[in-house]
Amino acid sequence: MLKGKAAIITGSTSGIGLGIARKLAAAGADIMLNGFGDATEIEAVRQAIETDFGVKALYSPADMGKPDQIAAMVANAEQAFGAVDILVNNAGIQHTALVENFPAERWETIIAINLSAVFYGTQAVLPGMKARNWGRIINIASAHGLVASAQKAAYVAAKHGVVGLTKVVALETAESGITCNAICPGWVLTPLVQKQIDALAARENISLAEAQVKLLSEKQPSRQFTTPDQLGDLAVFLCSEAAGNIKGASLPVDGGWTAQ
């Protein structure tokens, strides 16, 4: 379905981004991976995409906190693939603290990576998408783009910002073949969430298994984690022609979290 299309997935060296990258590749898209990590592991992930799915896979080490590096990553992908048809803005980080204790540096960095990078990436891909009259921009927001939790000021502010920015981009491209939507996952068992499970287990002196159940029970009525594969399949659907008139939506995949 996506043969001949090229996709950038930010923050795709692990977790949700990697799950989405592999599903887009399985659908035939060439892939530009991005994110941090061990160089040998990243190269293995890149090669596996090429051999498993017979597509081209490249890797960009661009830091999503640096606007000039985001623009360079998009320019490199356009040069290598001839176009960027799909942009998945996924890179994100977390920090938990009460507002009065929240380190200013963490606030600035989370806003830069989780929100401003979505703006700069979108700005860089739109001219090419408009020229070809086709594009898919998929922003990985969060249940925290729709509702809040204590101790997550920067993350919740950034993700609510992403949901708003998604609507603006959808309106500005409404009459074109471009769509911009947000996916709002609940808990997904990735390194980002594992850190929160570890902290909960340590704080309450309970086992990791008990902490997992507690974390889910507090927010996610299904008591099941959403999986990167489920999010990848939704991203592929959003790239389909069937989804061509879904514009500016924020789609929860959260086991009922935001239905409460």
Question: Which residues are marked as active site?
Answer: 155
Could you tell me how many residues of this chain bind ligand NAD (CB under 6 A)?
30
HSE-up of 122 (CA within 13 Å, CB side)? 25
Does position 17 interact with ligand NAD (CB under 6 A)? The reply is yes
CB 70, min distance to ligand NAD, A: 9
- Burial-class residue 57 by CB neighbours within 10 Å (0-12, 13-18, 19+): buried
Q: Which stretch binds ligand NAD (CB under 6 A): 15-23, 24-32, 99-107, 173-181?
A: 15-23
- Burial-class residue 128 by CB neighbours within 10 Å (0-12, 13-18, 19+): middle
Minimum CB distance to ligand NAD smaller for 59 or for 187: 187
Q: For 23-37, b where at least 16 C-beta lie within 10 A, e where not — what string? A: bbbbbebbbbbbbee
CB 125, min distance to ligand NAD, A: 16
Which tokens belong to 230?
């489920």
- Distance between CA 150 and CA 156 in Å, rounded? 9
Q: Which stretch binds ligand NAD (CB under 6 A): 11-19, 96-104, 197-205, 235-243?
A: 11-19
Minimum CB distance to ligand NAD smaller for 79 or for 191: 191
CB 185, min distance to ligand NAD, A: 4
Residue from 219, 218, 212 nearest 195 by CA: 212
Characterize the bridge pairing of strands 30-34 and 57-60: parallel
Residue from 117, 135, 118 nearest 126 by CA: 135
Kindly state the DSSP code that residue 139 receives in the 8-state scheme: E
Please, which of residues 56-95 interact with ligand NAD by CB under 6 A?
Answer: 63-65, 90-93
CB 133 within 8 A of CB 177: yes
Beta bridge partners of 251: 183
CB 203, min distance to ligand NAD, A: 19
C-alpha distance across the termini of the chain, in Å: 36
Binds ligand NAD (CB under 6 A): choice among 6, 11, 57, 125 = 11
Contact string 20-39 vs ligand NAD (x = CB under 6 A): --------------xxxx--
Kindly state the DSSP code that residue 205 receives in the 8-state scheme: T
Binds ligand NAD (CB under 6 A): choice among 38, 100, 191, 241 = 191
CB 113, min distance to ligand NAD, A: 5
Contact string 103-142 vs ligand NAD (x = CB under 6 A): ----------xx-------------------------x-x
- Chain residues binding ligand NAD by CB under 6 A are 10-17, 34-37, 63-65, 90-93, 113-114, 140, 142, 185, 187-188, 190-193
